[in-house]
């Protein structure tokens, strides 16, 4: 059985880590590189950095962030935010990122997933899916969760795998920052129908929520932000709890 992964997520805006609720009301949570280095020391399995800043010189900003991270961190990390081309991915991987995450660009041009997987290998390509329930149906949202699409989340997840993505980062916008637990039902639906790993994101508030994500949600990894940023749960404490509950972790 593959060990389950614990992944802190750092949303970066204008060079600072921020965290909100349901993708809104952002508050400062510190320097992303320093936080990432701390999580690396504390036993995080991977890190995800999502640059949510809208800047005119987008790629330069992201590449500089990647270089800073790569100097300080010795665990795998994923970079996302505004990545929309082969050139963007190449620049990020060359700067030291292990994986890239694409979201809006994949929805706008699904063929991009095929391109990137063919060029760099599926293991580098994470497709992030932001989902929200609309009239009882899980719908994919883009542009930082601000734009609903016509895509059913489960159907899109299947298509993403068929096109060559190596992993899915599934964020429930309904659960994001609320700390009442992950969206286990849809996570399980997707995990059980796909063969690639699914990272559960959105809703972590206590250690038990990770147990549920790995058992009820069938997730391969659990991603969280504020509970780590604001020191509500320590990573080693969480891993110890998971082992006590017979979850295999590193």
Q: How far is CA 75 from CA 40, 81, 178, 240, in A?
A: 6, 20, 28, 20
Residue with token string 């921020």:
18
H-helix or E-strand spanning residue 13: strand 5-13
Q: Are 235 and 5 in contact (CB under 8 A)?
A: no
Give the span between the Cα atoms of 204 and 232, in whole angstroms.
11
Q: Are 104 and 129 in contact (CB under 8 A)?
A: no
**Is residue 232 classed as helix, strand or coil in its secondary structure?**
coil
Give the span between the Cα atoms of 242 and 223, in whole angstroms.
14
Q: What is the DSSP letter of 181?
A: -
Q: What is the DSSP letter of 145?
A: T
Q: Is 28 considered catalytic here?
A: no
Q: Is 212 considered catalytic here?
A: no
Give the span between the Cα atoms of 119 and 88, in whole angstroms.
12
From 45, 88, 130, 212, the catalytic residue: 130
Q: What share of the chain is helix, strand, coil (3-state, %, to 5)?
A: 40, 30, 30
Give the span between the Cα atoms of 249 and 207, in whole angstroms.
14
Please, which residues bridge with residue 222 across strands?
A: 6, 200
Active site residues: 11, 130
């Amino acid at each position: 059985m593959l060990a389950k992964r614990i992944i802190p997520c750092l949303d970066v805006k204008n060079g600072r880590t921020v965290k909100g609720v349901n993708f809104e009301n952002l508050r400062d949570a510190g320097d992303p590189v320093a936080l990432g280095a701390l999580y690396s020391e504390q036993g995080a399995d991977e890190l995800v950095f999502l640059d949510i800043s809208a800047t005119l010189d987008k790629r330069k900003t992201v590449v500089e962030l990647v270089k800073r991270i790569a100097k300080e961190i010795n665990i795998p990390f994923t970079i996302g935010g505004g990545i929309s081309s082969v050139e963007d991915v190449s620049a990020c991987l060359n700067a030291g990122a292990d994986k890239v995450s694409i979201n809006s660009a994949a929805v706008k041009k699904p063929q991009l997933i095929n391109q990137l997987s063919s060029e760099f290998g599926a293991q580098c390509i994470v497709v992030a899916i932001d989902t929200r329930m609309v009239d009882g149906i899980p719908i994919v949202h883009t542009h930082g969760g601000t734009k609903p699409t016509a895509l059913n989340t489960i159907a899109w997840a299947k298509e993403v795998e068929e096109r060559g993505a190596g992993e899915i980062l599934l964020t429930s916008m309904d659960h994001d920052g609320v700390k009442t637990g992950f969206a286990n039902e849809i996570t399980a639906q997707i995990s059980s129908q796909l063969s690639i790993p699914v990272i559960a994101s959105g809703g972590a508030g206590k250690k038990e929520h990770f147990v549920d994500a790995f058992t009820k949600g069938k997730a391969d990894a659990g991603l969280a932000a504020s509970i780590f940023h604001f020191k509500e749960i320590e990573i080693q404490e969480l891993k110890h709890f998971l082992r006590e509950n017979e979850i295999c972790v590193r």
